[in-house]
Amino acid sequence: MTDKSIIGSTSLDTRFDRGRHWRAKIGFVILAMEQTIEEDVFRLAPNGVGVHFSRVPMENAVTVDTLEAVGHELANAAALILPYEKLDVVCYACTSGSLVLGEKRVAEELNKGVPNAIATSLITGVIHALKAFKVKRIVIGTPYVDEINIMEKKYLEDQGFEVLDIQGLNITNDADMVKVTPDFIKEFALSIDREDAEAIFISCGALRSIDVVDEIEELVKKPVIVSNQAMIWETLRLAGIKDVIDGYGSLLRKF
């Protein structure tokens, strides 16, 4: 049997558009064992905005020492996010990790890997979110151990906030943090609220806090900031995306 197939290039002119991610491309460096952030970011990203991820090695214990060690790997991880495309924004998606390293160090490491992107971090998004509401007196709930909570309290106080209370769940294993139920997160937030607090902050990207942030705000009648909500708000605004996103707290509706 004679093979009469022809192999060649079409004479048609190929048509191109700007692709699915024509509005912005945002990169996130997440911890190796992270299980919550990607799904949250995909849920909140508007149409036309691409969100892209790389993972950074870390021991499966959230302590000051393990979080500090991540700093040496951030640049390499960032460089793996769309290495042949331009990112508009790159973010280190870890609340405790970004405050342990400090925002300046995080930005420097991220820009080593992605020199032309605007570099930010999760804790930066939280700080900017709280400042958008012009609040000073806050209470904080975290899944962390005391050594991290002490650092977080000081870090936010150094940014001009008055931390009236910070309570932790004393969890070190990220795999346990992702299993904390949203209804418990709501109960936890209500338990730390107090009349003189102007806002509540629930810290940690591993917690499924965006599932209940709207409900908490409706009950306490004050701003509620949660890590992944603040992070996506910060990265979108830095990329020039000002879409109103409903259902995940007043931050994404008002600012």
- What pLDDT shows up at residue 1? 54
- Phi/psi for 27 (5° steps) reads -110, 145
Dump pLDDT digits (tens) for 147-191. 999 999 999 999 999 999 999 999 999 889 999 999 999 999 999
CB atoms within 10 A of CB 240: 10
Question: 7: pLDDT confidence band, cut at 50, 70 and 90?
Answer: confident
Give rounded-to-5 percent helix, strand, coil for the chain: 40, 15, 40
Dump pLDDT digits (tens) for 216-249. 999 999 999 999 999 999 999 999 999 999 999 9
The SS3 assignment for 150 reads helix
Domains and CATH numbers, the chain: 24-121+230-245 (3.40.50.12500), 125-226 (3.40.50.1860)
Contact criterion met (CB below 8 Å) for 255 and 132: yes
- What pLDDT shows up at residue 59? 87
Structure tokens at 16: 């191109």
Dump pLDDT digits (tens) for 69-127. 999 999 999 999 999 999 999 999 999 999 999 999 999 999 999 999 999 999 999 99
Which residue do the tokens 């003189």 mark? 196
pTM score, whole prediction = 0.94
Distance CA 199, CA 45 (A): 25
